[in-house]
Amino acid sequence: MRRILIQLDTDPHPSTFDRVVAVDSDVEQLFSYGGVTCDNVEPLVHGAMFTRGPQDLKSTALFIGGSQVAAGEELLARVSKTFFGPVRCSVMMDSNGSNTTAAAAVLCAAKHLALKGVTAVILGGTGPVGQRAAQLLAQAGAHVRVGSRTADKAYKVCNEILETLGTGELTPIAAGSPAEVHLALEGAQLVIAAGAAGVELMSEGSWAGHRSLKVAIDLNAYPPAGIAGVGTMDKGSEKHGVIRYGAIGVGGLKMKIHKACIRKLFEQNDQILDTTAIYRVGQTLVS
Amino acid sequence: MRRILIQLDTDPHPSTFDRVVAVDSDVEQLFSYGGVTCDNVEPLVHGAMFTRGPQDLKSTALFIGGSQVAAGEELLARVSKTFFGPVRCSVMMDSNGSNTTAAAAVLCAAKHLALKGVTAVILGGTGPVGQRAAQLLAQAGAHVRVGSRTADKAYKVCNEILETLGTGELTPIAAGSPAEVHLALEGAQLVIAAGAAGVELMSEGSWAGHRSLKVAIDLNAYPPAGIAGVGTMDKGSEKHGVIRYGAIGVGGLKMKIHKACIRKLFEQNDQILDTTAIYRVGQTLVS
Amino acid sequence: MRRILIQLDTDPHPSTFDRVVAVDSDVEQLFSYGGVTCDNVEPLVHGAMFTRGPQDLKSTALFIGGSQVAAGEELLARVSKTFFGPVRCSVMMDSNGSNTTAAAAVLCAAKHLALKGVTAVILGGTGPVGQRAAQLLAQAGAHVRVGSRTADKAYKVCNEILETLGTGELTPIAAGSPAEVHLALEGAQLVIAAGAAGVELMSEGSWAGHRSLKVAIDLNAYPPAGIAGVGTMDKGSEKHGVIRYGAIGVGGLKMKIHKACIRKLFEQNDQILDTTAIYRVGQTLVS
């Protein structure tokens, strides 16, 4: 029974990135669809459900991707609702790499810090990667400060995460001005920048002065850096007593998590690999 | 020479169902196209015709599918016209599973009845599956009553089938009201319901009372059943002295026929697997 | 590391021709995209660049095709600009078969003529194949007469080729009327017709009378022939003392060049297989 991955991409052209990774994760047949929406996805899922016998359904899996994370989330909900009883296939959702990136960033931090009880700041905390990193850190028992240009937006995100988790220590913070950012880091051990590409969120002077800070992770791949003084290639090197990771430094682990998740899809037919499940796969890789 | 199947689908997204079946029928490379029409298909066929030498053309085949059966029929005609002389590839047409479903239904009936001389009623006989079942039964020598809500439509379909076959015993009947349906079954040994999904065409009381009836087949996969008292999972079980088949009960054989046809495409380069040819492949499987 | 070819096609449906050839050139995974433009190609190229390590980038390659040659040229320029430093993949451009056809035609001529110093006439010399044949002949040291219905257009094309090559002997000629065509052949050893399909560019009487003429190549695959008296199947046969090649006669070598180029893509990650590079691959096949 050949391993088939059905790529459901919300962009017009299905991502080549996700296709190459699928091939390199031993997928044998890749069916790639672009322009997938909640309105047209049902027959695509039915074709996966109704073609192979129960014992072989684990050899057909679904991958939801595309640059629009909110569209991917909606699609995952729609796909999950299409299944019934044991007639289902495993699904992974990683629109714009959001889940694998957030998981890799948090796991990089966890190499150097015991997350339980740590104080973490997420800059750009209302974007898809920032939200997911905040969720994973809160699940691990960290005190998470979710930063945004306006406290309102941050507050909304904290509430959403709390709804998902049921419990967690999340504090919305305004982190628009240099002074606010400086204040946000007070007493924090970890900062993760997950803002828009090419926007500096924090100056080097701002983080260099914080004695409590142990780890700074910048997920921005395009200059200027989100955290000045953290290079994209940084992978655990120290400056001002702070361990730094850049986008490419995190990228190796992100890619390993992505591949491990694709392989895991084919172990059983009833998995939903979302933020939490993808993080757990990552944990097995670093332990 | 790797076996290439070119899937020409008239829907925007090519069917995942047909793709999984192709993979499970040992196709090695599957080229899937959506949005294929008579206007844009020619270069797709030319690319199949002009890339491999005469002895290797049998390793490239075409599959015409999609939810719109009439569009698939037009496409098959257009594709057939594009070939010339020995420069051609084998083609299978199975839009909406119409040919494989009709073949499987008739073959299920043939397990229990000698079709020659039998009287068969097709409810929903003017839809794609119903028409095809009527044609196959007429070819096998049955007396076929083609039922529709209006006798006019049924009359037109009978004429079309007669034009295709040249000969055959086909009678158009109105089967819109319960009384008409009850009358239609008078003296019949076989009834096949091939109507729209989720529409009851016949009550249980209607068929339970007919002494002549031996086999009832309902191709409707979604509740309510097209023939009340026939379940989708029924596969040869009896009730009121009648052997019953439901959509899933027929589905196993349908799938086997589909796969056998895909494999057969690669035996020679000059086959057209249409309603009759697909039925003949089915006959080799059950005999 | 499986060999992945990413087909970037400027037509809505990616070419089946190029897909079959890719499969027959040992590509293991083929990602086919239609409707690719300069505006949407960047993420497709990024996905190729950022998924595999430096030593494995040679196992991912790009192919630019489609019926519109000018669109393919623009796309090649855009794709080349997307790469940076060593983070790149090899690319082949062969929109409408223009590069492989021109290379094959010139190599067929070279079997019978030393190209250096020869006088060659290109009829339909301003089309994509004609331009490319003119360029290759000029690079090989031939005196090339580029024929068009109007001398203006021919002049423009000669200038473009000179800009590309830096040097070369190219003469624009008007070749619209039979008298102009007859005059154009005066003293020429080679004529290649690369005009629109189904348009006769030269009568048999016109070329039969030229003593200097040694080789006549007609790349038109649909009747009437571009050069009357040259059949599509001609492959080196003589008439009136002239060696003749038709479209199918040239096609075998064209196909070998196409396949050899696809295979060559996977030898290193930094190749651009354009007109000149594709011709060089062809030279290694015929020598």
Cross-chain CB nearest to A52 (options B15, B18, B20): B20
**In chain C, what residues touch B31 (CB-CB under 8 Å)?**
16, 19, 32
Residues present in chain C in total: 287
Q: Give the tens place of pLDDT for each residue, C43-67.
A: 999 999 999 999 999 999 999 999 9
pLDDT band, residue C130 (cuts 50/70/90) = very high
CA-based angle B191:B195:B200, to the nearest 5? Answer: 80
Mutate which: B3, B13, B27, vs A, most A CBs within 10 A: B13
Distance from CA of B275 to the nearest CA of C (A): 27
Q: What is the pLDDT of residue B222?
A: 84
CA-based angle C246:C260:C26, to the nearest 5? Answer: 120
Mutate which: C10, C13, C255, vs B, most B CBs within 10 A: C13
Distance CA B10, CA A274 (A): 34
Looking at the complex, does the CB of residue B114 fall below 8 Å from at least one CB of chain A? no
C-alpha dihedral sign at B110, B112, B116, B122: negative
A139 and A245, same domain (yes or no): yes
Could you list the residue range(s) of the whole structural domain that residue B8 is in? 4-97+254-286
Q: What is the pLDDT of residue A135?
A: 98
- Tell whether the model's pLDDT for residue B197 goes beyond 90: no
A140 and A264, same domain (yes or no): no
Q: What is the pLDDT of residue C221?
A: 85
Distance from CA of B88 to the nearest CA of C (A): 14
Note whether A254 and A245 are within 8 A (CB): no
Q: Give the tens place of pLDDT for each residue, B151-185.
A: 999 999 999 999 999 999 999 999 999 999 999 99
pTM: 0.96
Chain-chain contact of B15 with A43 (C-beta, under 8 angstroms)? yes
C142 and C179, same domain (yes or no): yes
Distance CA A179, CA A2 (A): 57
Q: Which chains touch A (3 or more CB pairs under 8 A)?
A: B, C
**In chain C, what residues touch B45 (CB-CB under 8 Å)?**
16
Chain-chain contact of B32 with A35 (C-beta, under 8 angstroms)? no
Q: What is the pLDDT of residue A124?
A: 95
Looking at the complex, does the CB of residue B24 fall below 8 Å from at least one CB of chain A? yes
Chain-chain contact of B13 with A40 (C-beta, under 8 angstroms)? yes
Distance CA A177, CA C74 (A): 44
A126 and A10, same domain (yes or no): no
Q: What is the pLDDT of residue B81?
A: 97
Cross-chain CB nearest to A20 (options C40, C43, C48): C48
Distance from CA of C64 to the nearest CA of A (A): 15
Distance CA C9, CA C96 (A): 10
**In chain B, what residues touch C67 (CB-CB under 8 Å)?**
43
Q: What is the pLDDT of residue B123?
A: 97
Note whether B112 and B243 are within 8 A (CB): yes
Chain-chain contact of B40 with C15 (C-beta, under 8 angstroms)? no
Q: What is the pLDDT of residue A198?
A: 84
C187 and C260, same domain (yes or no): no
Alpha helices in A24-150 (DSSP H): 42-49, 69-82, 98-110, 128-139
List all residues of chain B from 244 to 273 with a beta carbon under 8 Å from chain A. Answer: 255
pLDDT band, residue C133 (cuts 50/70/90) = very high
- Tell whether the model's pLDDT for residue B254 goes beyond 90: yes
- As a whole-number percent, the residues of chain A with pLDDT over 70 amount to 100
Average pLDDT of the segment spanning C272-284: 98
Distance CA C274, CA C147 (A): 23
**In chain C, what residues touch A255 (CB-CB under 8 Å)?**
51
- Tell whether the model's pLDDT for residue C222 goes beyond 90: no
Q: What is the pLDDT of residue C209?
A: 85
Q: Give the tens place of pLDDT for each residue, B84-111.
A: 999 999 999 999 999 999 999 999 999 9
Q: Give the tens place of pLDDT for each residue, C22-35.
A: 999 999 999 999 99
Residues in CB range of B77: below 8 A, 6 or more apart? none
Chain-chain contact of B33 with C13 (C-beta, under 8 angstroms)? yes
Q: What is the pLDDT of residue C135?
A: 98
B194 and B224, same domain (yes or no): yes
Chain-chain contact of A2 with B21 (C-beta, under 8 angstroms)? no
Residues in CB range of B53: below 8 A, 6 or more apart? none
Q: Which amino acid is at A226?
A: G
CATH of the domain at B27: 3.40.50.10280
Looking at the complex, does the CB of residue A84 fall below 8 Å from at least one CB of chain B? no
- Tell whether the model's pLDDT for residue C287 goes beyond 90: no
Average pLDDT of the segment spanning C207-234: 94
Average pLDDT of the segment spanning A185-206: 94
Q: What is the pLDDT of residue A287?
A: 84
**In chain C, what residues touch A16 (CB-CB under 8 Å)?**
6, 31, 43-48, 51
Alpha helices in C94-246 (DSSP H): 98-110, 128-139, 151-165, 178-184, 204-208
Q: Give the tens place of pLDDT for each residue, C169-194.
A: 999 999 999 999 999 999 999 999 99
Chain-chain contact of A36 with B13 (C-beta, under 8 angstroms)? yes
Looking at the complex, does the CB of residue A47 fall below 8 Å from at least one CB of chain B? yes
C261 and C179, same domain (yes or no): no
Looking at the complex, does the CB of residue C57 fall below 8 Å from at least one CB of chain A? no
Looking at the complex, does the CB of residue C38 fall below 8 Å from at least one CB of chain A? no
Q: Mean pLDDT of all residues in chain B?
A: 96
Mutate which: A51, A58, A91, vs B, most B CBs within 10 A: A51
B124 and B141, same domain (yes or no): yes
Residues present in chain A in total: 287
* Cis peptide leading into residue C224 (ω within 30°): yes
**In chain C, what residues touch A248 (CB-CB under 8 Å)?**
none
Query: Which of C7, C56, C60, C57 lies closest to C35, judged by CA?
Result: C7
C37, closest residue in chain A (CA to CA): A13
**Structural domain total, chain B:** 2
Cross-chain CB nearest to C15 (options B29, B40, B47): B47
Distance CA C152, CA A113 (A): 73
C55 and C83, same domain (yes or no): yes
Looking at the complex, does the CB of residue C15 fall below 8 Å from at least one CB of chain B? yes
B119 and B155, same domain (yes or no): yes
Note whether B26 and B263 are within 8 A (CB): yes
Residues in CB range of C263: below 8 A, 6 or more apart? C25, C26
pLDDT band, residue B23 (cuts 50/70/90) = very high
Distance CA C32, CA C75 (A): 15
Mutate which: B4, B10, B29, vs C, most C CBs within 10 A: B29
Distance from CA of B47 to the nearest CA of C (A): 4
Chain-chain contact of B24 with A1 (C-beta, under 8 angstroms)? yes
In C246-286 the beta strands, taken as DSSP E runs, fall at: 272-273
Looking at the complex, does the CB of residue C29 fall below 8 Å from at least one CB of chain A? yes
A91 and A143, same domain (yes or no): no
Q: Mean pLDDT of all residues in chain C?
A: 96
Chain-chain contact of B47 with C18 (C-beta, under 8 angstroms)? yes
List all residues of chain A from 168 to 207 with a beta carbon under 8 Å from chain C. Answer: none
Q: Give the tens place of pLDDT for each residue, A155-175.
A: 999 999 999 999 999 999 999
Q: What is the pLDDT of residue A28?
A: 97
Query: Which of C60, C61, C48, C64 lies closest to C11, judged by CA?
Result: C64
**In chain B, what residues touch A75 (CB-CB under 8 Å)?**
none
Q: What is the pLDDT of residue B198?
A: 84
A149 and A216, same domain (yes or no): yes
pLDDT band, residue B55 (cuts 50/70/90) = very high
Chain-chain contact of B16 with A2 (C-beta, under 8 angstroms)? no
B28, closest residue in chain A (CA to CA): A29
Looking at the complex, does the CB of residue B20 fall below 8 Å from at least one CB of chain A? yes
Distance CA C8, CA B272 (A): 32
- Tell whether the model's pLDDT for residue C197 goes beyond 90: no
